[in-house]
Amino acid sequence: MEKLTAEQQQQIKKMSNDRLRVKLTAAGYDEETVVAMEREVMMTTYADVVATGGPKPAAVGYNPAIERERLVFERERSGKLTGRSGRLREKIGCVESRKKRKRSSAEN
């Protein structure tokens, strides 16, 4: 806490336990570990996070193989949906044409 300005220290002291838990979890600490911490430990730990420049965002990577698999999956999924609805339309068309034939034969 000594590494922080007086204003930063005051802000951390005013934070509720729940807010400290949220901040520490966002900074990458395990939720179960944070829940088990006492208030003083949470404040000191969060002060260290603030002193080192705040929470570090998780690295977002791009893996071409995973993206390729995801694209194939999405294409297959959309194809299946289109295929099902196409077959459904065909069935509806068959039923409607049968009804028309029955009507026309009944009229004759």
Q: What is the pLDDT of residues 51-107, one digit of tens each?
A: 888 655 544 566 778 888 888 888 777 765 445 555 555 566 666 667 777 777 777
pLDDT confidence of residue 93: 63
Asked if the structure places residue 56 within a domain, the reply is no
Query: Same domain for 12 and 40?
Result: yes
Query: Same domain for 47 and 25?
Result: yes
CA 26 – CA 82 distance, rounded (Å):
41
CA 104 – CA 20 distance, rounded (Å):
77
Query: Same domain for 77 and 97?
Result: yes
CA 89 – CA 96 distance, rounded (Å):
10
Query: Same domain for 47 and 68?
Result: no
pLDDT confidence of residue 1: 73
Query: Same domain for 70 and 106?
Result: yes
Query: Same domain for 73 and 45?
Result: no
Query: Same domain for 67 and 46?
Result: no
Work out how many domains the chain is built from and give that number.
2
The pTM (predicted TM-score) of the whole model is 0.50
Asked if the structure places residue 1 within a domain, the reply is no
Q: Which domain holds residue 31?
A: 6-51
Q: Minimal CA–CA distance to 1: which of 17, 18, 13?
A: 13
